[in-house]
Structure 1
């Protein structure tokens, strides 16, 4: 062996997947761990991370990583679709999504299943015009087949009061 080559191991966060990968990049995942930081830094080149979750204690290590990488971090507390005021919280996430200035963007929850599944389902329904059957199928893929009926009903019944500014709207939005 002539010399050792450094091998970068890029390990995406739990339940990582692109949501939109056209002129902008929107990703979904579970809570990033230190082992995921090189993937986030070197592969995604994120401008914004939105955390929808119930952990009100975010690790110093994670916050330092975000600061070092100059990634805008937005924490939107969310327990479940049964929370009072959740529509306002989801509209806050949607406001971030319909502004091209926030891309590339990652939206994560703790495991990348239910809370992120609701957000992605609403994006698919309201912003992209997907059928409910397709939304349910995608939700099921990321929740490991454990479809939360309350989450699916919430996606189906959700109505947004979102204001969209045409000059900031990504092209994937069909409004």
Structure 2
């Protein structure tokens, strides 16, 4: 069923990296994450954040599917799975109590 949304939106990895740097900087907390255009950027960003928090991919995808529901897309999950977090692992960051972190 066509929902009026583009079937795939290319999200530049550098955009996700920059957003994660903002989220990880405790000086910016609390943080509200949302997408202005409704093109699944929030789900991809949160999925990449969960990878940084060392969630296993099955838990990341479970959370994504729970919130995306009928709008879940395999391409978003593939983006999260292939996103390279190695360049962000050495950043000094703290997860405040406002960001739920779990070794799921």
TM normalised by structure 2 equals: 0.72
- 2:94 is the alignment partner of 1:170: yes
- 2:32 is the alignment partner of 1:94: no
Q: CA deviation at 1:130?
A: 0.7
| Aligned twin of 1:23 | none
TM normalised by structure 1 equals: 0.45
| Aligned twin of 2:65 | 140
Q: CA deviation at 1:115?
A: 1.1
Greater helix fraction, Structure 1 or Structure 2: 2
Aligned residue pairs: how many? 89
- 2:43 is the alignment partner of 1:129: no
Q: CA deviation at 1:113?
A: 7.2
Greater strand fraction, Structure 1 or Structure 2: 1
CA offsets per residue over residues 71-106 of structure 1, 9 Å max, x none? xxxxxxxx83x24xx111001101101110000111
1:150 and 1:131 map into 2 onto residues whose CA distance is: 18
Secondary structure of the structure 1 residue equivalent to 2:91: coil
Secondary structure of the structure 2 residue equivalent to 1:106: coil
Secondary structure of the structure 1 residue equivalent to 2:71: coil
RCO higher in structure (CA 8 A, sep ≥6): 2
1:139 and 1:111 map into 2 onto residues whose CA distance is: 18
Distance 1:112 1:123, change over 3 A: farther
Distance 1:114 1:104, change over 3 A: same
**Alignment RMSD:** 2.4
| Misfit runs of 4+, over 3 Å | 110-113, 171-174
Runs of 5+ unmatched residues, structure 1: 1-78
Which has the larger Rg? 1
- 2:43 is the alignment partner of 1:117: yes
Q: CA deviation at 1:146?
A: 3.2
